[in-house]
C-alpha cells in the first residue's frame, strides 16, 4: 500500500516530450523584470525640447500645486510627498516626440531637430527614463522615422553615452511585420554605433485596431511581443488614435470607454508573464484656466482607475497634470501598503492570518510595494523586507 505503480520510464518520457516546450515557455514568459518602472511618460514635441525643460515643467507644476493644491483634498502625508516629488523629480520618463506632437516640418528641419535633440539630451539628462518617439513604420513615414532615430543617436552618442533607462517608441503599428523590421533596424543601429547587443529597446503603441486584431483573426498584440525579438519593453495604449480608428466620436473618446477596456484587457493577457510592462494612455482635457478643478478631478479619477485595473503607468501631456498624477499614485500606494505589507510579512514567515495567500498573490504584493517604493510613495523603513528581498518575491524566486 502507498507505493506508486508507474515506472521511472514514464517520468523520463514525460520530461523528454516536454523538454522543448519547457524551454519555450521559460523563454517566452520570464516574469516581471527587476528594477524600477516609471509611473508616467511625459510626451513633449521635439520643437519644444530644451535644456531646462524638466526644471521648467517642475516649476510650473509646483506653482499650480502651491496655489491650487487644496482643491485636491489630499491628506497632509500625501500632499507633503507630492510637494517633494515635484521639487526633486517632476518627470520620471520623458519622450521627445517626433510623431504626432511634432508634425512634418520638412526633412531638413527634422534632420536638424533630431541631431540637436540628441546633443541636448547628452548634456542635460535629468530623468530616470528617456527616449524618443519616431514616426511609424508605415510606408509613408518609415524612412523618415528611421532617419530621425539614426540622427538622434548620432547627436547623442557623439556627445556622451547612451543614458540609463533609454527606450524608443514605435507608434501606429498596422502590421506585425513592422515590429519585426523595427527590431532589425535597432540591431543594425547597435552595430553602427558600437553599442552592446540588445541595449536598444522599444515600446509599442497600441493605437490601431490592427495592433489588437490582425486581418486573419489572430490576436495581433500577442504576436507583436514575439515579433520584437526580445526588444519590446512595453505596450502603451493610445487613447485617441485607437478610439478614432473604431469610429468613436470625439466626445466619447476616453481611457474608460468600453472599447478602451477591451483593448487593454487583451494587452494585459498578451503581456502577462512576458516581462513586457503596460501603460495606459492620456486624457486631452488639460487642467488650465477655469477648467482646472474639473480637469484635475477627472485626471485623479482616471489615474486611480488605471492603477486599480493593473496599469501602473500612463501618459501626461501638460505640467499641470503632474500634481494629480503623483497625488493619485501616492494615495493608491499609501492607502494599501499597510495591508499589503502585513500580508506579505505573514506569507514570508508562514504566519497564520485571516487571508490565505498563494505564491502568485505574494508576487503581486511584492510588486505593489516595490512600485510604491520606487516612485517615492513609500519609505524604506515602511517595507516589510529589504527592497532586494521584495525583488526576489516579485520574480517568484524567494
Query: Is 340 part of any domain?
Result: no
pLDDT tens by residue, 205-242: 999 999 999 999 999 999 999 999 999 999 999 999 99
What single DSSP character describes residue 212? T
Query: Is 369 part of any domain?
Result: no
Instruction: Round to whole Å and give the CA distance between 124 and 94.
Output: 12
Query: Is 381 part of any domain?
Result: no
Q: Is the pLDDT of residue 346 over 90?
A: no
Query: Is 366 part of any domain?
Result: no
Instruction: Round to whole Å and give the CA distance between 43 and 396.
Output: 34
pLDDT attached to residue 358: 78
pLDDT attached to residue 389: 87
Query: Is 124 part of any domain?
Result: yes
Q: How confident is the model at residue 355 (pLDDT cuts 50, 70, 90)?
A: low
pLDDT attached to residue 236: 98
Range of the domain at 224: 40-334
Q: Which three cell numbers stand for residue 8?
A: 521511472
Q: Is the pLDDT of residue 122 over 90?
A: yes
- Listed range (23-27, 129-133, 206-210, 340-344) with the worst mean pLDDT: 340-344
Q: Which residues of 228-252 are buried (b: 16+ CB within 10 A; e: fewer)?
A: beebbbbbbbbbbbbbebbebeeee
Q: Is the pLDDT of residue 398 over 50?
A: no
Instruction: Round to whole Å and give the CA distance between 2 and 28.
Output: 38
SS3 state of residue 164: coil
CATH number of 50's domain: 3.20.20.60
Identify the CA nearest to 312 among candidates 271, 356, 278.
278
pLDDT attached to residue 359: 83
pLDDT tens by residue, 123-178: 998 899 999 999 999 999 999 999 999 999 999 999 999 999 999 999 999 999 99
Q: Answer whether 51's CB lies under 8 Å from 120's CB.
A: yes
Looking at the chain, the whole-number percentage of residues with pLDDT higher than 70 is 97
Query: Is 19 part of any domain?
Result: no
Q: Is the pLDDT of residue 299 over 70?
A: yes
Count up the domains in the chain and report the number. Answer: 1
CA-to-CA separations, 27 to 225, 232, 267, in angstroms, rounded = 12, 14, 19
Q: Which three cell numbers stand for residue 278?
A: 503596460
Query: Is 285 part of any domain?
Result: yes
Query: Is 265 part of any domain?
Result: yes
Amino acid at each position: 500500500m502507498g507505493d506508486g505503480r508507474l515506472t521511472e520510464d514514464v517520468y523520463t518520457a514525460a520530461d523528454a516530450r516536454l523538454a522543448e516546450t519547457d524551454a519555450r515557455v521559460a523563454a517566452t514568459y520570464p516574469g516581471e523584470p527587476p528594477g524600477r518602472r516609471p509611473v508616467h511618460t511625459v510626451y513633449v514635441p521635439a520643437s519644444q525640447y530644451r535644456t531646462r525643460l524638466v526644471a521648467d515643467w517642475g516649476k510650473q507644476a509646483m506653482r499650480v500645486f502651491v496655489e491650487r493644491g487644496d482643491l485636491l483634498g489630499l491628506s497632509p502625508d500625501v500632499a507633503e510627498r507630492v510637494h517633494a516629488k515635484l521639487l526633486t523629480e517632476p518627470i520620471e520618463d520623458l519622450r521627445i516626440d517626433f510623431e504626432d506632437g511634432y508634425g512634418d516640418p520638412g526633412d531638413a528641419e527634422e534632420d536638424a531637430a533630431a541631431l540637436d535633440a540628441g546633443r541636448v539630451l547628452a548634456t542635460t539628462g535629468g530623468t530616470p527614463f528617456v527616449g524618443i518617439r519616431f514616426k511609424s513604420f508605415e510606408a509613408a513615414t518609415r524612412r523618415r522615422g528611421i532617419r530621425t532615430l539614426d540622427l538622434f543617436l548620432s547627436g547623442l552618442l557623439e556627445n556622451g553615452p547612451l543614458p540609463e533607462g533609454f527606450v524608443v517608441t514605435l507608434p501606429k503599428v498596422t502590421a506585425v511585420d513592422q515590429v519585426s523590421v523595427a527590431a532589425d533596424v535597432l540591431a543594425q543601429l547597435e552595430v553602427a554605433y558600437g553599442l552592446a547587443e540588445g541595449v536598444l529597446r522599444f515600446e509599442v503603441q497600441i493605437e490601431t485596431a490592427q495592433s489588437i486584431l490582425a486581418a486573419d483573426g489572430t490576436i495581433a498584440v500577442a504576436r507583436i511581443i514575439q515579433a520584437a525579438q526580445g526588444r519590446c519593453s512595453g505596450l502603451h495604449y493610445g487613447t485617441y488614435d485607437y478610439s478614432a480608428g473604431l469610429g468613436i466620436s470625439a466626445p466619447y473618446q476616453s481611457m474608460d470607454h468600453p472599447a478602451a477596456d477591451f483593448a487593454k484587457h487583451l494587452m494585459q493577457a498578451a503581456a502577462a508573464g512576458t516581462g513586457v510592462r503596460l501603460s495606459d494612455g492620456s486624457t486631452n482635457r488639460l487642467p488650465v484656466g477655469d477648467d482646472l478643478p474639473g480637469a484635475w478631478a477627472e485626471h485623479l479619477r482616471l489615474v486611480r482607475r488605471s492603477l486599480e485595473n493593473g496599469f501602473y503607468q500612463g501618459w501626461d501631456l501638460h505640467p499641470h497634470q503632474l500634481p494629480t498624477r503623483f497625488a493619485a499614485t501616492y494615495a493608491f500606494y499609501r492607502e494599501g501598503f499597510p495591508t499589503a505589507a502585513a500580508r506579505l510579512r505573514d506569507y514570508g514567515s508562514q504566519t497564520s492570518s485571516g487571508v490565505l495567500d498563494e505564491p502568485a498573490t505574494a508576487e503581486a504584493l511584492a510588486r505593489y510595494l516595490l512600485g510604491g517604493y520606487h516612485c517615492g510613495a513609500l519609505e524604506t523603513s515602511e517595507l516589510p523586507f529589504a527592497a532586494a528581498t521584495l525583488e526576489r518575491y516579485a520574480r517568484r524566486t524567494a
